[in-house]
Structure 1
Amino acid sequence: MKFRALMQDPQYMREFQAIVATLAKLAKDCVMILGPRQMHFIVNEDQSSTASPLVWASIAAEEYFPEYRMEAALPEHEFIVLSMSSASLGRALSVLRNVGTNNCKFKLQRIQFPCISVIATVLLSSSTEAREVVHDVPVSIIPASDWPAYVVPKVPNSQLVLSLPTLRLLRSLIDKLKNVSPSLEFQVNIDGELNVIATSEMSTVTSRFQKLLLRSLEASQQEASCCVDSRKASAFFGSLQVSNDELTIGIDRDHSIHMQIDVRQDVVLHSILPAVCV
């Protein structure tokens, strides 16, 4: 079982760090699935928090890593599956925010314990020589017999998919609406309109967004709506550290809402908010 990877582009390193920082805000632990050409991170609903949504990231290795090598334990195995502290990985990657970081290597190894070693080469402002900053993040290697519990989630079918307005605006709005109602109803229609509705015993608050870009549409569908837990919606938007504003919402009527952020081609952050009964 072997894994090695190298990042060199400063922008890609900052994006990678922002994705992991987003996951670290949502749950204590995450799962890393290493495939031959793709890397996935998954945070399931945190059992200690009813407000933690399901979020995962899919990253094409060739987008971020000019060098990427993965060898599974057995030839018939397609993946390496690891569990680790998302906070520990986030702290190890915080060095990637530094302007002087030239590259970052990842290596799966066993020191006194299995770990992902994060090795960043940093040029300090006080010195002309680059130095290596090393963090060893402990991991648990998930045996193949347990892999069915760690499958990458499937994107649900959506009747309507719209591009959303800026993250900052939605983050502020939903953070306020969660104090009005325990659930939020998202309504979309083919005219590019999104309504976010919070209902309480005393009032109903509707926030309307118009002239949004229609991304996809199932035949004969005019509109779709779904009610979700307001705390889970707020947790997702509040956790986002990525700077990209390309956010879409897809509604599978009365089943779930699918949020998707395209950080770049083949680098995507997903979240599924399940429907709640009102």
Structure 2
Amino acid sequence: MRFTGVMNDIMCIRQFASIVNAVARLSKTCVLRITTTHLYLIANEAGIVNSSPGLWAELDQGHFFNVFNMGGVSEENNEIFLEMEPDTLSKTLSSFTSTQTAARFLKIKLTKKHSPCLTLEVELPSLSVHARIVVHDVPVRPLPRRQWSLYQEPEMPQCDASLYLPPLKQLRHVVERMKTQASHITLAGNRRGTLVFSMSTDTVTVSTYFRHLSMPTWDRDDGGRDGEPEELRSATVDIKRLALFLTGEQIGPSKVICNIVEGRLIHMFLLHEDVTLQYFLPAATNVY
């Protein structure tokens, strides 16, 4: 296996760092899947065997990399799957993208030193005539072919309500206030563009309404399968996990879709021109 990628655009380096940081907030471990056309950051639900991914980030390599060379395990299976801790990669990238030490280029290479690593090499500004090259190694673990099926693209759920979210910064403010009072939050939506964020305790119930939201049009008829368009469909999820997803505003998404599968799942779909990020929040039971 071999992989080398070079980024020469500081904005692409910063965007890549933001994506990895968002993934690191949502999962302690993830799999980096490398193909000839895309990079994927994938995380399965902790403690669930053979589950579909709970997080799926898809990056167009042509947007990020000026140079991109890879060779998979074989001609038939021309892919690479590497397990790693995204927080380690995120901290390394953050040190390269600060205002004072913004990298001029970033080279990422799969190497084997004492163990397999992603070796990151950057050129940083220097007061001298000589370039200042900094190298960091991020440990990775290549996954055997038999485990690849655990990290395939998740299927789109058949949802009961699907809406475009308001700006994430606005939602984050709402959720952070509710998080101080409850451990779970209920999201409810309908086919009239209404979305409700609510939480309840023994002493208080708080709800925030968003009305007249736009709704995506899917290729198949899966929104609001039964009932009246005004009927709210809901699912209750862990409020801390939702709050972590909302930090994805740093990626600068053009749109974010919330799909609700009543009583079972909240599916968040963050869209950018060259990046998509899906996050699956399973519904909690017996909360209230």
**Counterpart pick for 1:122 among 121, 124, 129:** 124
Q: How far does the alpha carbon of each residue in 1:193-230 deviate from its partner, in whole angstroms, 9 at most, with x for none? A: 21111122222211011222212364673253222222
Q: Look up the SS of the partner of 1:258 in the other structure.
A: strand
CA distance in 1 between counterparts of 2:239 and 2:124 reads: 41
| Contact 1:95/1:101 (<8 A) preserved | no
Query: CA–CA distance in 2 between the matches of 1:248 and 1:84?
Result: 28
Q: Which residue of 1 aligns with 2:42?
A: 42
Amino acid at match of 2:216: R
Partner of 2:279: 271
Q: Partners of 2:134 and 2:161 in 1: how far apart? A: 46
> Equivalent residues in 2 for 1:96-111 (5 A)?
96-98=96-98, 100-111=102-113
- Residue in 2 aligned with 1:50? none
Query: d(CA) in 2 for partners of 1:43 and 1:243?
Result: 21
Specify the SS of the correspondent of 2:285. coil
AA of the residue aligned to 1:277? T
- Structure 2 contact 191–223 (Cα < 8 Å) conserved: no
Indicate the structure with greater strand content: 1
Q: Which residue of 2 aligns with 1:143?
A: 144
Q: Counterpart of 1:6 in structure 2: which amino acid?
A: V
TM-score (norm 1): 0.88
Does 2:238 align with 1:234? no
Return the alpha-carbon distance in structure 2 between the equivalents of residues 245 and 219 of structure 1.
23
Q: How many residues align?
A: 271
CA RMSD across the alignment: 2.3
Q: Does 1:168 align with 2:169?
A: yes
**TM-fit CA distance, 1:147:** 1.8
Give a deviation string over 1:111-160, Cα, whole Å, max 9, x none: 22111111112223x33443222111111111112222333433323333
Deviation at 1:182, TM superposition (A): 3.2
TM-score (norm 2): 0.85
5+ residue gaps, structure 1: 48-52
Residues 212-261 of structure 1: per-residue CA shift (max 9 Å, x gap): 22123646732532222223222322466423363221112222111122
* Greater than 4 Å deviation, 4+ residue runs: none
Aligned-partner SS, 2:251: coil
Counterpart for residue 50 of structure 2: none
Identity over the aligned pairs, expressed in percent? 29
SS at match of 2:140: strand
**Aligned match of 1:196:** 197
Alignment of 1:238-249 (within 5 A): 238=247, 241-244=250-253, 246-249=255-258
